Chain A
């Protein structure tokens, strides 16, 4: 466990010693801010009754502001998290430090977990930045706690899935760009996969809908914790990390 912690700290440190952490944190904060302002405007317009009849009315801030905001955030993450994982293995292979890790008394599992927790730590920091905006909401309004908490739990789990897939892909190549682009493409595929199901039969449709990574996030942002979704993200992460560990073995055998 101490080994994993050492590895995770090393990962986090290298994010902050390179521009990666600053670029990702900065851009994410800007994008989140834009979405935040846009959602506020939308909600204000809604409450003024500008859409349809009736004049001013009370609008649920969780339903009409926070939920779409978190949904947009999920899409931004799909673009940004591949940037965190694309260098995880590529850099170590290029600089020869992979040789240090693989000849140290560490199991593949420990190395993978170290990298996973390192990336998760930075990702948690990204999410923590958004709490400033949420704080503003609490200052001026009265949002409900529970759906916010589940929403952030959902974001963490979904981000974890993105990171674990990103690691698995990074472990197969020495090239950062290839790792980044492939991760992005695969995540995009998991986002849009349910669109394929629209015209097909109900079984295919439901299978494809189940696979879609963003579909499972929706309930979390509504304040619902469903074991189906927990299982989905849990297995997504586990499979990603398992594939990473296996791919490290494969790399060694093929040499």
Chain B
């Protein structure tokens, strides 16, 4: 549905987006993740045809953005970072205007506007002026504007920014609902959002693609070995020698102590699952098994690892690329592999 091939964007000597390629399938939700100033917004602006790429090609719904921009834009809905509202229009008038510039036939306008307002729960705001709306409502009117003409592709730049927790949940639900018949690309720097809504994640840092994968795979891939969290009641005995004797266990370290019961981190090789063997040993020793679970690396940790690891001093000169946020970032493991 969306194909991005070797897209580069330069501003003079500044490279904001550097040779990015990825593609999104129909009905998929792709999360665009990166620190502030990583090039997320620039990439999205290229995908929507607002900015032309310096190099590379973008195809949206089968139309080349450079050769047939009107056709491609007709099939794209876009919520920019700041919702593009006209303060002097009421919400209903604004959506009417958006419908007209998107060439929605006159007969369909009211139905589509009504359903867009309903889906974003702004129906009771229809007669308010856009300029008087709160941040959360502005964001939702922006979203209504993007989904209004039923585009094949939805590009949302931080759709939940400025919303309160309840609205965030509603918006995420809406995005998941829309995914069926729309292809969605959303950018965010809120990590739980990605693991909750996206099927695939693109991590971008300093304008470069760092990783493209499912959240689960990313988690698994970065976890060289597996660590289990084990809490057992040994009634005073030291279980470490016994546990280390279990086949597949590499090492055992005391973790924490809860209500007087000790817990341990059990490191094991990535290939074998030692949980069955471990629980058998625990039971045979007549210890009380309270908890046994794999320790997952959270997306936060992956993200930090991908965007901060192997900070090389020679990449620091590129720091002017990051606009506002000076996240301590540099070359990453995944990119260095390429």
- A residues whose Cβ falls under 8 Å from a Cβ of B: 2-3, 6-7, 10, 13-14, 17-18, 95-107, 252-255
Q: Contact check: which of B74, B85, B86, B103 meets A10 at CB < 8 Å?
A: B86
Assembled-state Cα–Cα distance A106/B9 (Å): 23
Q: A10-B89, A100-B78 are in contact. List 7 more A-B contacts (CB 8 A).
A: A14-B88, A18-B88, A95-B84, A95-B87, A97-B85, A103-B49, A253-B52
Using A99-B50, A253-B52 as known contacts, say yes or no to A7 and B84 having CB atoms under 8 A apart.
Answer: no
Assembled-state Cα–Cα distance A13/B71 (Å): 28
| B103 and A2 within 8 A (CB) | yes
| A17 and B100 within 8 A (CB) | no
Most buried by B among A18, A95, A253: A95
Most buried by B among A2, A13, A99: A99
Would you give the shortest CB distance from B274 to chain A, in whole angstroms?
53
| A102 and B103 within 8 A (CB) | no
Using A17-B88, A95-B87 as known contacts, say yes or no to A104 and B101 having CB atoms under 8 A apart.
Answer: yes
Assembled-state Cα–Cα distance A103/B9 (Å): 18
| A3 and B51 within 8 A (CB) | no
- B residues whose Cβ falls under 8 Å from a Cβ of A: 9, 11, 45, 48-52, 70-71, 73-74, 76, 78, 80-89, 97-98, 100-103, 145
Would you give the shortest CB distance from A95 to chain B, in whole angstroms?
7
| B52 and A10 within 8 A (CB) | no
Would you give the shortest CB distance from A4 to chain B, in whole angstroms?
10
Identify whether the interface residues of A are mostly helix, strand, loop, or mixed.
Answer: helix
Assembled-state Cα–Cα distance A18/B88 (Å): 8
Instruction: Name the residue of chain A whose CB is nearest to the CB of B42.
Output: A255
Identify whether the interface residues of B are mostly helix, strand, loop, or mixed.
Answer: loop
Assembled-state Cα–Cα distance A96/B45 (Å): 12
Using A103-B78, A104-B73, A105-B74 as known contacts, say yes or no to A96 and B51 having CB atoms under 8 A apart.
Answer: no
Using A107-B70, A255-B51 as known contacts, say yes or no to A101 and B101 having CB atoms under 8 A apart.
Answer: yes
Would you give the shortest CB distance from B106 to chain A, in whole angstroms?
8
| A255 and B84 within 8 A (CB) | no
| A252 and B52 within 8 A (CB) | yes
| A6 and B100 within 8 A (CB) | yes
Would you give the shortest CB distance from A17 to chain B, in whole angstroms?
3
Instruction: Name the residue of chain B whose CB is nearest to the CB of A100.
Output: B84
Using A3-B103, A14-B88, A105-B102 as known contacts, say yes or no to A100 and B70 having CB atoms under 8 A apart.
Answer: no
| B74 and A96 within 8 A (CB) | no
Using A99-B84, A102-B49 as known contacts, say yes or no to A13 and B89 having CB atoms under 8 A apart.
Answer: yes
Would you give the shortest CB distance from A254 to chain B, in whole angstroms?
8
Contacts of B74 in A (CB 8 A): 105
| B88 and A13 within 8 A (CB) | yes
| B102 and A252 within 8 A (CB) | no
CB<8 Å pairs between A and B, sample of 25: A2-B100, A3-B100, A3-B101, A3-B103, A6-B97, A10-B89, A10-B97, A14-B86, A95-B87, A98-B84, A100-B84, A100-B98, A102-B50, A103-B48, A103-B76, A103-B80, A104-B98, A104-B101, A104-B102, A105-B70, A105-B74, A105-B101, A106-B70, A252-B50, A255-B9
Instruction: Name the residue of chain B whose CB is nearest to the CB of A7.
Output: B101
| B52 and A100 within 8 A (CB) | no
Would you give the shortest CB distance from B231 to chain A, in whole angstroms?
53
| B145 and A100 within 8 A (CB) | yes
Contacts of A18 in B (CB 8 A): 88
Q: Contact check: which of A103, A105, A254 meets B50 at CB < 8 Å?
A: A103
Assembled-state Cα–Cα distance A100/B97 (Å): 11
Most buried by B among A97, A103, A253: A103
Contacts of A254 in B (CB 8 A): 11
Contacts of A100 in B (CB 8 A): 78, 80, 84, 98, 145
Contacts of A102 in B (CB 8 A): 49-50
Contacts of B88 in A (CB 8 A): 13-14, 17-18
| A97 and B84 within 8 A (CB) | yes
Contacts of A10 in B (CB 8 A): 86, 89, 97
Contacts of B100 in A (CB 8 A): 2-3, 6
